[in-house]
Structure 1
Amino acid sequence: MITDLDLPVLAKAEVVVCGAGPAGVAAALAAARSGARVILLEQTGCCGGMSTAGLVPVFIHMSDRKNLVAAGICHEIISEMCRRMGQSKINFIWQHIHPEILKQVYDEKLSEAGVTTFFDVKVADTIMNGDTLNAVAVATVQGLKKICGKVWVDATGDGIVAAAAGVPFELGDAQGKTMSPTLCVQYSNIDLEAMREAEQRGEGAIPLWKKHKQQIPLAEHHIIGISEYGNGSGSGNLGHIYDVNTLDEAERSHCYTEGRRVANIIHDFYVKYVPGYEKSDLTATASLLGIRESRRILGEYQLTLSDYLEKRHFSDDIGCFYYGIDIHASSTNPEEQLNVGKRMDECNSSYEPGDNYGIPYRALIARKVRNLLVAGRCISAERPVQASLRVMPCCMITGVAAGCAAALAKDDGEIRALPAESLQREIRTTGAYLP
């Protein structure tokens, strides 16, 4: 945190959104469509975060199996992606992603809304005046500069802005261990017809992994397979990188080299054992590491496991969600890997179609800073709940709410003074679902 810094001003706006993943894109669109001048900052060269640069293969659980809880901006973007993919109907539970098409959709929607997007800029520090965030220092191709704003949305996933501003946070489990990340992959030259026929015979990648995993030099209990798109292409959330601290710079760097090693081992398995993949190519590993867990920023309210189990709703709900408590193992310990699924089943057994839990606005308000909201997987929640809401449709739900709140507070930055009813009314104008 810096109190003052004499840096050249790169740009200024009423609302500044840091991070252009699903949460950040949704926040920027919602704020701009609500009448604010918006800047969106992204450290990579494209919008979409895990849905594009991260090669995450699917959008999961837009629905609670009865209600479209990720209606509005999330549904709008995915609908357009599916239309350009030639797909007439969205799979609201398990929708495959074409990352290159999705990049174009994000670009066009943001441009139409009048959002100013900066790529290749990375937040280096915050510039504070007491409890007010005035600017962020960003690393650019011309060195350090600053971007100024009235209201801020931290959608970096890692809570970089909030942590730099001195907001307290939690990390990992009771011992500080974080869920294992994944470096997702992209395959081409898949014989999709042979693959589908094999899956119908029960000879798909998942059962074959269980059958042959003793011959594969990886301590990996299971894999989830490849999600197809295009003409013989697909992306896969394959393999884990264990025993790493996702906030340690050296260990995070190691994840990329280790992820590429794991990717080649798993691709060898596909070529050798899985019908349809005999001539497939490992076209790419992701340019962005798939981090499931790092900081959980502490807000004015922290969502608890009890909230999840009781399907609790709040007077200041900004949305609702349902996805299982999906905690991935942090180590290669086979007992830990097996217990992950058992614990998830125990926690989720009470949820029926149409059941969901509420997300209060207070969980998006960062403590100790007057004008800072958080969105995405770093919002204020206990670890089990974060393991549910970290997936991309929910990141977009919280992004929309943060963007609407930022736009309403753009004149004075007083995000805590917003009446819940006014915010909820603004959120509904985006087409979002609020029960």
Structure 2
Amino acid sequence: MGQRPRETGKTMLFEKTNELDKYDVVVAGGGPAGVGAGLACARAGLKTILVEGNGCLGGTLTAGALPFVLGSYTGSIPFPEMVRLGLTYKELPRPYRAVKGLMAEFQSRVKAQGGGLGPAVIPHAQKYPGLDRLSCHDEFTFDIEIGKQVFDAMALESGLDLLFYTQALDVKREGNEIKGVFVANKNGLSYIPCVALIDCTGDADLVYRAGYETIKGDPVSGEMSAVSLIAHVENVDPEPLNRYLQDGGNPWFTEIMAQAKADLPERRQDIPDNLVFFPMPQEGVFMVNGGTSNSPVDGTDARALTALTLWGRRRAKFLVEELFHKYIPGGEKARLRLSAYYPGVRETRKIVGEYNLTEADVLSGKRFTDSIALAGRHFDLDRGGTWDNQPFGAKRLGGGVVTVPYRTMIPAGSSNILAAGRCIAAEGQALGPIRISSTCMALGQAAGTAAALKIKRNVDFKSIDIARLRHELLQRDAVIDALSDNVEAEEAQ
């Protein structure tokens, strides 16, 4: 079976628009990648505007109600393999840090305000040691509101111009150059002229609209990963849960979920095989990853996202009222605290880049002389809505880490646009380790740093000095190479 045709978008035409000031850089999207890109640009002295549809920075980390950072360290193994081996995240090795830079600064500032714990430091574990078995080995947990405040402060201190409640719709392209971005908000339609554009939409929306090639989902089948709507549950009594875990209870609650399925055969599809939840900084509050779709969802389709959100909220209510109240130790009086304001989308469009990172690259541990970020997470994209169909479920990253080359952020044939985050050029399962928030922020930081070199030297993104880019990133505490003496870099093609 051959690969599916690649896709390009069609530019829309807007007659009535307000023209805003010209910016050096427009950053589309305010998730981890957008934050990294915007901060890097602004701190380099570029006039930069970040356009975000929500009312806060952080994306999945904040609006997505998933306030823990994964992938900052190497050494994780796939979730189904952990269940099979009976391991917990706490029992995994943590050899070295894969992401620092702006993500490390964010974590440090959140900690300084008493709003963050980690890595592998679980809220309330000193009082309830059993909760430690629920931890992720590289997890950094934080209070969402403090996280929002820290993101705001970092942006405002840097001089980054923020435009919330605004959707980046399209671009103006002349020849091979992006001249500006069309956006929509309560002011109507506006046009923002720019010298460079960084697409951090997660879905390569503007690369697609600009007419550059993208590919959606799996390169052969087109199938995409499941989508989650995270929920938070409060009023859980930690003491019974602590006793259950200390007495050797399964931290994934596999047997409990099997019993619930046997008791409620008519609701089997609503009961996960494993219940994944983690304690939050507030005692008795837990984040529950129980609203994951049972089938792939197209995260570029508003109807599909709407249906998933409605289903996810219903399922969260069911999990609390039927599973927590009746099956989870300490969950008898649990209440649904909140559900995410936006679904967690794992995979949609990726750009076709000047280099496309392949599954073979990741499995072999291929190194690149233009590497600008690392990913330490395991293969983390399901297929068919279940981990049972994850083709690389038991495989490890070659060399324990993924090195991401700069060229994966450059849309093939483009001049002044980059993509950063989960929409970079990574084929199939190669995206799994890269799509995690920590690596997305590192990619954004690299893209913003590249934009400064591009603009200050008046060259296109393909022509910037890679050695200078890597030097600038190292000066800003980024991690760009695998920490191994026996790694032999391969020449960038």
TM-score over 0.5 (shorter chain): yes
Alignment of 1:240-279 (within 5 A): 240-241=292-293, 242-268=295-321, 269-279=323-333
Amino acid aligned to 1:214: A
8 Å CA contact retained: 2:171, 2:209: yes
8 Å CA contact retained: 1:57, 1:236: no
8 Å CA contact retained: 1:12, 1:39: no
Question: Whole-Å Cα distance in 2 between the matches of residues 156 and 88 of structure 1?
Answer: 28
Deviation at 1:4, TM superposition (A): 7.9
Amino acid aligned to 1:187: V
* 13 and 108 in structure 1: CA distance in 2 versus 1, 3 angstrom threshold: same
8 Å CA contact retained: 1:165, 1:369: no
Question: Whole-Å Cα distance in 2 between the matches of residues 417 and 366 of structure 1?
Answer: 14
Alignment of 1:84-233 (within 5 A): 84-85=113-114, 89-91=118-120, 93-173=138-218, 174-203=220-249, 204=251, 206-207=253-254, 208-216=256-264, 217-219=267-269, 220-233=272-285
SS of the aligned residue for 1:301 comes to coil
- Per-residue Cα deviation, 1:321-376 (whole angstroms, up to 9, x for no partner): 22111122334xxxx54242x7321x21x656xx3221110001112331000111
For the pair 1:82 / 2:111, whether they are aligned, the reply is yes
- Per-residue Cα deviation, 1:80-101 (whole angstroms, up to 9, x for no partner): 2233236565336122232111
* 301 and 398 in structure 1: CA distance in 2 versus 1, 3 angstrom threshold: same
Counterpart selection for 2:340 from 269, 283, 286: 286
Amino acid aligned to 2:158: A
For the pair 1:73 / 2:83, whether they are aligned, the reply is no
For the pair 1:343 / 2:392, whether they are aligned, the reply is yes
* TM, length-normalised to structure 1: 0.92
**Residue equivalent to 2:378:** 324
Deviation at 1:416, TM superposition (A): 1.1
Question: Whole-Å Cα distance in 1 between the matches of residues 63 and 459 of structure 2?
Answer: 32
- Per-residue Cα deviation, 1:226-245 (whole angstroms, up to 9, x for no partner): 33222322322223222432
Amino acid aligned to 2:311: E
Question: Whole-Å Cα distance in 1 between the matches of residues 453 and 277 of structure 2?
Answer: 43
SS of the aligned residue for 2:280 comes to strand
Question: Whole-Å Cα distance in 1 between the matches of residues 460 and 479 of structure 2?
Answer: 25
Deviation at 1:2, TM superposition (A): 4.8
Identity %: 30
Question: Whole-Å Cα distance in 2 between the matches of residues 88 and 261 of structure 1?
Answer: 31
* 413 and 266 in structure 1: CA distance in 2 versus 1, 3 angstrom threshold: farther
Structure 1, unmatched stretches of 5+, are: none
**Residue equivalent to 1:234:** 286
Deviation at 1:218, TM superposition (A): 4.1
- Per-residue Cα deviation, 1:44-96 (whole angstroms, up to 9, x for no partner): 11110000000124211201132211111111101222332365653361222
Amino acid aligned to 2:411: A
* TM, length-normalised to structure 2: 0.82
8 Å CA contact retained: 2:36, 2:444: yes
SS of the aligned residue for 1:17 comes to strand
Deviation at 1:34, TM superposition (A): 1.8
**Residue equivalent to 2:480:** 434
Amino acid aligned to 1:31: C
* 351 and 312 in structure 1: CA distance in 2 versus 1, 3 angstrom threshold: closer
8 Å CA contact retained: 1:133, 1:371: yes
Deviation at 1:20, TM superposition (A): 0.4
For the pair 1:297 / 2:351, whether they are aligned, the reply is yes
Deviation at 1:265, TM superposition (A): 1.7
8 Å CA contact retained: 1:190, 1:233: yes
Deviation at 1:409, TM superposition (A): 1.2
Alignment of 1:25-64 (within 5 A): 25-64=35-74
**Residue equivalent to 1:359:** 404
* 210 and 391 in structure 1: CA distance in 2 versus 1, 3 angstrom threshold: farther
SS of the aligned residue for 2:221 comes to coil
Counterpart selection for 2:452 from 407, 410, 424: 407
Question: Whole-Å Cα distance in 1 between the matches of residues 68 and 115 of structure 2?
Answer: 16
Alignment of 1:304-319 (within 5 A): 304-319=358-373
Question: Whole-Å Cα distance in 2 between the matches of residues 206 and 311 of structure 1?
Answer: 34
SS of the aligned residue for 1:272 comes to coil
